[in-house]
Amino acid sequence: MTPSSPLEGKHIVLGICGGIAAYKSVSLLRLFIKAGAEVQVVITPAGKQFITPVTLSALSHKPVVSEFFTANTGEWHSHVDLGMWADCMVIAPATASTIGKMANGIADNMLVTTYLSAKSQVFVAPAMDLDMMAHPSTTRNIDLLRSYGNIIIEPEDGYLASGLVGKGRMEEPENILKVVEQFFEKASDKTLKGKKVLITAGPTYEKIDPVRFIGNFSTGKMGFALAAEFARRGADVTLVAGPVSLPTPDHNIRRIDVMSAREMLEACETECGDSDYAVMCAAVADYAPENELDRKIKREHEDVPVLRLKKNPDIAATLGRMKREGQTLVGFALETDHELEHAVEKLQRKNLDFIVLNSMRTPGAGFGTDTNAVTIISRDGTKAEIGLKSKAEVASDIIDNII
């Protein structure tokens, strides 16, 4: 046993599907056991054609589960209990068929029902022929899994069982082990304990009259993912949220709901004094109506009303002016052209330490999506590119960069 492994004592459900890479699952199982984990293998009916349950049960010291019940005794195998028992679930190899079932909730075998019942982190290591891997159906299903928060362990390029060469080889067991170990290392990371973090998220609504407003398409998902990740690492988080329909992701987060940019500014001015990190993720409306009407504008008016606007306060720039020694201020930039130049200009003008650039041009990134791709630019000009990942993973990468 590796005494220092973060997998020691962890409960892992290892899901095995019917693909030629199933032979590598034996090594993966051995590595998990060597690292001190308790492993329950769940195999699909097709998986058993590739690797025998006898090998797997001998190595895991547990009967392998495949059917909903044992035929001769009638013993019921509870996928719900298994899902609750698991500290994580690793599906390796994951075939196109199982990925499709997982993405769409087709619960016709024990592996998929366990997946749907699992409350813990799920890792998916696809393995298939290159054309299956590249098919839009597969890529769409993998994107769906990513959007559910599953971690996809991308297959490698290389020789495939078919004799073809391309992307589809299951990642090597040693590397799958590393990904799972890193996850648990991070999960036990409470290095931000005692740190105070202020986050703004979502849009702001600027009232025109009692029933209308100026707003934008922000849903708050990126800011909420950041709040969740900071809280998970032990930080004391205050989340100032514009009008969004998201639940607070962690009961340790203090949430202040606001409507307009002015209300958001007031909350931030009050809260930012003793914060160690302030992350301005909100898509604040730049303009508000000059006068908010107390009665609904009527359509029956002869003239089309003219809306006069006034500039909203810039919250990030205000905090930038108030910034004290030791405080880190992070802003976001959503650009459509000359992206880097505009982002760097904003970083300097608002006295930020980092700016996270979202490109409207990357499919799957930006407003409302569950995924994002960003560039993190620091004050000294260093740039870190984060490719398309779930917003939870992007949040983790952003925090790794700024601390």
From the CB of 365, what's the least distance to ligand C5P, in Å? 16
From the CB of 262, what's the least distance to ligand C5P, in Å? 10
How far apart are alpha carbons 122 and 101 in whole angstroms?
15
From the CB of 390, what's the least distance to ligand C5P, in Å? 21
| Structure-block tokens of residue 276 | 């160690």
For the CA atoms of the chain, what is the radius of gyration? 25
From the CB of 362, what's the least distance to ligand C5P, in Å? 17
From the CB of 357, what's the least distance to ligand C5P, in Å? 10
For residues 284 and 318, the answer to whether their CB atoms sit within 8 Å is: no
For ligand C5P, give the closer residue by CB, 31 or 333. Answer: 333
**Helix, strand, coil % (nearest 5) of the chain?**
35, 25, 40
The rounded Cα 99 to chain-centroid distance in angstroms is 18
216 noted as active-site residue: yes
H or E segment to which residue 126 belongs = strand 121-126
Residues near 160 by beta carbon (within 8 Å), at least 6 away in sequence: 129, 130, 166, 168, 169
Q: What are phi and psi of 330, to 5 degrees?
A: -120, 135
For ligand C5P, give the closer residue by CB, 179 or 384. Answer: 384
From the CB of 400, what's the least distance to ligand C5P, in Å? 19
For residues 357 and 377, the answer to whether their CB atoms sit within 8 Å is: yes
Active-site hit among 72, 141, 216, 401: 216
| Structure-block tokens of residue 106 | 């087709």
How far apart are alpha carbons 386 and 356 in whole angstroms?
10
Residues near ligand C5P (CB under 6 A) are: 200, 261, 280, 282, 284, 286, 312, 314-316, 331-333, 346
Q: Tell me the DSSP string of 84-121.
A: HH-SEEEEEEE-HHHHHHHHHT---SHHHHHHHH--SE
How far apart are alpha carbons 28 and 17 in whole angstroms?
14
Q: At what angle do helices 22-34 and 53-60 cross, to 10 degrees?
A: 10
How far apart are alpha carbons 399 and 395 in whole angstroms?
6
From the CB of 331, what's the least distance to ligand C5P, in Å? 3
Q: Give ∠ CA 144-150-151 in degrees, rounded to 5.
A: 115
Q: At what angle do helices 173-187 and 22-34 cross, to 10 degrees?
A: 40
From the CB of 306, what's the least distance to ligand C5P, in Å? 23
How far apart are alpha carbons 383 and 386 in whole angstroms?
10
Pick from 337, 346, 344, 329: nearest CA to 382: 344
Residues classed as catalytic: 216
